Structures are given as structure tokens and as C-alpha cells.
Structure 1
Amino acid sequence: MRIDKFLKVSRLVKRRTVAKEMADQGRVKVNDRVVKSSYDVKLGDVIEIGFGNKQLKAKVRDLRETTKKAEASDLYELID
């Protein structure tokens, strides 16, 4: 699954177009490497997202094409 789609399905970012723009601007890292929106997410990947001056770090726990809002947080685990 592409990183932009994962960010949208997991609800870490509200819209896929916003997730795509963030990745293409270099604000998304996976395993300490800057990735483009076409990066293929794998289980166990550690994703870092830059929101202005705030950093969010999450580990991928599950991959699904769609999910309900209540189950979205099961796709990742936040890391300090």
C-alpha cells in the first residue's frame, strides 16, 4: 500500500491529497529515510510525519485497504 493511502486510511492525515503533498515535500520519513508518496509501506515500518513544528512517530502494525474510524488506530502504534 502506498504511504499516502496508508496515512489517509489510518487517519494520521485527513486527506490523501494532503498526505501526497506532504510526502512529495519531504515531510514524511520511513525508517529515517525521506520517502515519496509512492513508497510501499510494510509491516513494522516506522513513519515520521512533520506537521510544522510538531513531529509524529508511528509504527505500522496492520495494513488494510479500508477501515472504520473506530478501528483506524489499530493500524499503527504511536512512539514517543
Structure 2
Amino acid sequence: MVVRRLLWEAARRVAQNPEIQQKAADIAAEAYERARPKLENAGRHLSDSAREAAAEHDPMKDPVGFAKSLKKKAFPTEG
């Protein structure tokens, strides 16, 4: 219990340090810039998959068929 309290207090003090806050913001910005192309590609892939699945199964009339088709298109099994 005491160790947990000490660790929590140390984390709070570190989080209040402006230099550490700036470094964390820089790291987060760099991580976002690296991940952005993959995130955008994943969004386009999912959107295209949903459009193709909707062409096969009307989501309003056959939601289960649509969901199965979307799963098959968005996450194809390998092998």
C-alpha cells in the first residue's frame, strides 16, 4: 500500500513537469505522424468493404448477412 502510494505520488510529480509534458507531446505527435498513413488506409479499406457488403446484402433487410459479408471482406482469412 505504501509503495503504491509512493509510486502514484512520483508519477503525479513527473506528470507536472513541463519538460516531460513537452517530450510526451513530441513523442505522441511523432507516433501519430507515423501511424496516420496506415490509419487512413485502414479507414478506406473498411469503407470500401462496407460498400461492397451493402451491395450484396441490404443492411436494413438482412443485417446478419451484411455483417457476415462485411467481416469476410474486411478481415479475409489467410490460407
Q: Is the shorter-chain TM-score for this pair beyond 0.5, marking a shared fold?
A: no
TM range (shorter): under 0.3
Higher helix share: 2
What TM-score results when the alignment is normalised by the length of structure 2? 0.22
What TM-score results when the alignment is normalised by the length of structure 1? 0.22
Higher strand share: 1
Bigger relative contact order (CA 8 A; separation at least 6): 1
Give 1 or 2 for the bigger CA radius of gyration: 2
